[in-house]
Amino acid sequence: MAEKLKDRVAIVTGAGTGIGRAIAIGLAKEGANLVGAARRVDKLQETAKEVEALGRKFLAVRCDVSKKEDCENVVRETLNEFGRIDILVNNAAIFPFTRFLDITPEEWDTVMATNVRGVVQMCQAVLPHMINQGRGNIIMVNSAQARMAAYLQPHYTTSKGALLALTRSLAGEYGPKGIRVNGFNVGFTPETEQVQLFGEKAIPQSFREALIKTIPLRRLGRPEDYQGIAVFLASDDSAYITGQTIPVDGGQAMP
């Protein structure tokens, strides 16, 4: 069976761990060459080993997406190495747990700088090149919390709600240029480094068990659960889809 993404070039932010790492590997399995962008290059090297074992190329670039110059450098390094950019997966995000009345302006701005402005800056960096190519594909890794009540993460939830609107806006503006923009909402996925850092105290087992009862498929998400949707949205299988954000959360956020 032919590879769905043969020789396409994909940038994945936050590709060193968790969902981003799984997505990068999933795209590589379908023939894509990868550029991993993250703050920790050592983690990117671990992803690189798995991608290269599949016979695909992997370029690791240090990047803090909240910094415009870092985003522009990722694009510059990608073009120097591969000469084109076919896919951008905006995955990098932070999600601290804080009660709304305890959030400081600094903490609010830090979340927005990564989760919203970082996405904007990556899109601004890649779009001119996609326009010149006459085609491109941008994918937003969003969250089920964008469409449901969530506690202790009002800044994270707000940032993900903003991505719903940004996805539609960019799809409308750049569709005539041959560029598709879609996203998918992930469910709670504890098998990631960021979640595990919070530990049992912040996310007790009792909370996880209660959450599972709200999910029709009766389990929490795993990073590998999002490989299929990422490949689908990146490939020609979804050639007539744009401006959409698809729930991939076990049915948790059903209306």
Catalytic residues: 156
Residue owning tokens 């490949």:
231
Q: How far apart are CA 79 and CA 9, in angstroms?
A: 10
Q: Judge contact between 75 and 126, C-beta under 8 A.
A: yes
Residue ranges of the alpha helices (H) in the chain?
18-29, 41-53, 68-82, 105-112, 118-133, 154-174, 193-202, 205-213, 227-234
Q: How far apart are CA 137 and CA 131, in angstroms?
A: 11
DSSP state of 115: I
Q: How far apart are CA 139 and CA 3, in angstroms?
A: 19
Tokens of 93: 């995000």
Residue 119: count of CB within 10 angstroms of its CB? 29
Residue owning tokens 């889809």:
241
Q: How far apart are CA 181 and CA 169, in angstroms?
A: 9
